[in-house]
Amino acid sequence: MLSFSRNFEKILLNNVEKSLALSISYSTETKKEVKEEFRILNLKSVKGKVQPRKPQKQLEALQPRASKMPVDQDWASVWPGPKTFHPASVPLPVRQGYVEKAAAAPDKYGNAELMKIPNFLHLTPPVIKRQCEALKKFCTPWPKGLENEEKCEKHFPIEVVSSDYCHSAPTLRNPLARIVTIKLKLSSLKLDGRAKDKFIRLVGERYNKETDTVTIVADRCPLKKQNYDYAMYLLTACYHESWNVEPWEELKSEADMEYYYWNNNASKKSVEALFGKPTEDIPNVQEYSEAVSTLINEGESEYLVTKYGQSVRKLLGLPDELKS
């Protein structure tokens, strides 16, 4: 047993010595490899050996595009639509900006004033003609019977006015875009004398007597369509209400009328009895009726009294008043 243990210890010692020897040899080899891989850059050895630089190639500046444009070019291909101003693409001596006294305004190169405003350089007559020709296939012929303003107003008496806005804001909906204005001639509505008078009282200041125009403005609703419907509702309500006859209106006599209407008064009956025929066949009766109505409604004045006297002489066929 003692001999076996001694032999075993010798074997262990030999193995340990071999492993230590291998580790030491591996470490020395790796150090040699590291020293060979990482070399030191010595700049002193190349001192004084400066290589000459290659001369840089000078690039020629290209001329602006505007100087090369032919006179008969297709401008629609150069400026097809709205865009920011570009000085090299516009063959025109454009100037913009404020200067003191009589100095010339800044030219187009490097001009911020020209770049920040919208331009209409794309809307030249040939381009507009070309665009109109392209849109013709989507259009229908103009309706017959609407050749002038009078015919258009006769067939379409209501005029609707509204506005659209395009602006930069947190919302695309401009508050002013909701306003809708409706205009029409009062004569285009089929109203008799009583209904016409009642309609004028209902609309109040919205009626212009000089132009015979009724104007209704709607802006209380948030949307344009809602204001349009509301304005048409007001117009419809006023029209039907003007034809509505209340029971107390039947009790009104001639003295209760707010205005003097010659056709509804005794003056018309007196003229018909004097001439023995209806007013349609009496000459100069229209001028006489207008003079009487104006005199009573607006009050007496030297001009209206003189006009009334002249209309009476014409109605009776009397000569003009002799001058003293």
Residues 178 and 225 in one domain: yes
Residue 180, beta-bridge partner list = 162, 218
Strands of the chain (E only): list them: 159-162, 180-185, 207-208, 213-218
Q: Are residues 154 and 242 in the same domain?
A: yes
H or E element that contains 25: helix 2-37
CA gap 235, 216 in Å, rounded:
8
Residue 233 lies in a domain: yes
Q: Are residues 232 and 310 in the same domain?
A: no
Q: Which residues does residue 208 pair with via DSSP β-bridges, in sequence order?
A: 213
Spatial separation of the C-alpha atoms in residues 199 and 227, rounded to whole Å: 21
**Of 293, 206, 197, 292, residue with least CA distance to 249:** 197
211 and 297 assigned to the same domain: no
Statement to judge: residues 163 and 225 lie in one domain: yes
pTM score over 0.95 = no
Alpha-carbon distance 216 to 186, whole Å? 12
User: How high is the pLDDT of residue 233?
Assistant: 96
Q: How far apart are CA 145 and CA 41, in angstroms?
A: 99
Let me know if residue 7 belongs to a domain: no
Separation between Cα atoms, residue 186 and residue 191, nearest integer Å: 9
Number of domains in the chain: 3
Average pLDDT, 10 consecutive residues per value, the chain (324 residues): 56 64 56 58 60 79 85 87 88 87 86 86 90 91 88 91 83 87 93 88 92 94 95 95 87 74 81 83 86 86 88 84 55
CB of 293 closer than 8 Å to CB of 265: no
Residue 266's domain comprises 257-316
Euclidean distance between CA atoms 149 and 157, whole angstroms = 11
Q: Residue 284 — left, alpha, or beta (φ > 0 → left; ψ -120 to 50 → alpha)?
A: left
Residues in Cβ contact with 158 at an 8 Å cutoff, skipping those fewer than 6 apart: 182, 183, 184, 235
Q: Is 72 helix (H, G, I), strand (E, B) or coil?
A: coil
- Examine the fold and report which residue of 246, 275, 299 is the final residue of a domain before the chain moves on: 246
User: Is 11 among the domain residues?
Assistant: no
Together in a domain, 312 and 230:
no
| Whether 162 and 180 share a structural domain | yes
Of 222, 246, 270, the last residue of a domain is 246
Q: Which of 212, 246, 280 is the last residue of a domain?
A: 246
144, part of any domain: no
Supply the DSSP symbol for 290: H
Phi and psi torsions of 167, nearest 5°? -145, 165
CATH number, domain of 200, equals 3.30.160.20
With respect to residue 94, please indicate whether it lies within any of the assigned structural domains: yes
155 and 239 assigned to the same domain: yes
Determine the pLDDT at residue 2: 45
Residues whose CB falls within 8 Å of the CB of residue 254, separated by 6 or more in sequence, listed in order: 264, 265, 266
In a shared domain, residues 158 and 133: no
- The answer as to whether 102 is a domain residue is yes
* Per-residue model confidence (pLDDT) at position 259: 74
Residue 39 lies in a domain: no
Q: Is residue 54 part of a domain?
A: no
What are the structure tokens assigned to 313, written together? 């002489």
135 with 153, same domain: the answer is: no
Please check whether residues 158 and 219 belong to one and the same domain.
yes
Same domain, 182 and 227: yes
Q: How far from chain centre, in Å, is Cα 27?
A: 86
